[in-house]
Amino acid sequence: MNQISTNLMMVKQRLELAAVAAKREPEDILLLAVSKAFPARAVEEAMHAGQTAFGENYVQEGVEKVQQLAKLRPWLQWHFIGPIQSNKTADVAEHFDWVHSIDRLKIAERLSAQRGEFPKLEPLQVCVQINISDETSKSGASKIEVEALCEAITKLPNLVLRGLMAIPAPSSKPEEQRQAFEAVRDYFVGIKLKHAQDFGFDFFDTLSMGMSDDMEAAIAEGSTIVRVGTAIFGKRDKITA
Ligand SMILES: *Cc1c(COP(=O)(O)O)cnc(C)c1O
Q: What is the pLDDT of residues 107-142, one digit of tens each?
A: 999 999 999 999 999 999 999 999 998 776 678 999
Ligand 1, residue 81: give the atom nearest the CA. 13
For the chain, what percent of residues have pLDDT higher than 90? 94
Q: Which helix (H) or strand (E) holds 67?
A: helix 59-68
Q: Write down the pLDDT at residue 238.
A: 59
For the chain, what percent of residues have pLDDT higher than 70? 97
Ligand 1, residue 230: give the atom nearest the CA. 8
User: Under 8 Å CB-to-CB from 55, ≥6 apart: which residues?
Assistant: 32, 33, 34, 35, 36, 78, 79, 80, 81, 100, 227, 229
pLDDT band for position 31 (cuts 50, 70, 90): very high
Atom 11 of ligand 1, residue of closest alpha carbon? 227
Phi, psi of 136, deg, nearest 5:
-65, -25
DSSP conformational letter for 133: T
d(CA 1, CA 3): 7
pLDDT band for position 241 (cuts 50, 70, 90): very low
pLDDT digits (tens, 9 = 90+) for 174-194: 999 999 999 999 999 999 999
pLDDT digits (tens, 9 = 90+) for 155-166: 999 999 999 999
- Of the candidates 146, 141, 140, 143, the one whose C-alpha atom is nearest the C-alpha of residue 195 is 146
Mean pLDDT of the region 3-26? 98
Q: Write down the pLDDT at residue 11.
A: 98
Is 91:61 a contact under the CB 8 Å cutoff? no
pLDDT digits (tens, 9 = 90+) for 196-222: 999 999 999 999 999 999 999 999 999
Distance 148 CA to ligand 1 centre (A): 27
Handedness of CA 120, 55, 7, 29 (dihedral sign): negative
| Residue 205 identity (one-letter amino acid) | D
d(CA 62, CA 56): 5
Distance 22 CA to ligand 1 centre (A): 23
Helix (H, G, I), strand (E, B) or coil at 233: helix
Atom 10 of ligand 1, residue of closest alpha carbon? 227
Domains identified in the chain and CATH numbers: 3-233 (3.20.20.10)
Q: Tell me what the pLDDT averaged over the chain comes to.
A: 96
Q: Write down the pLDDT at residue 135.
A: 72
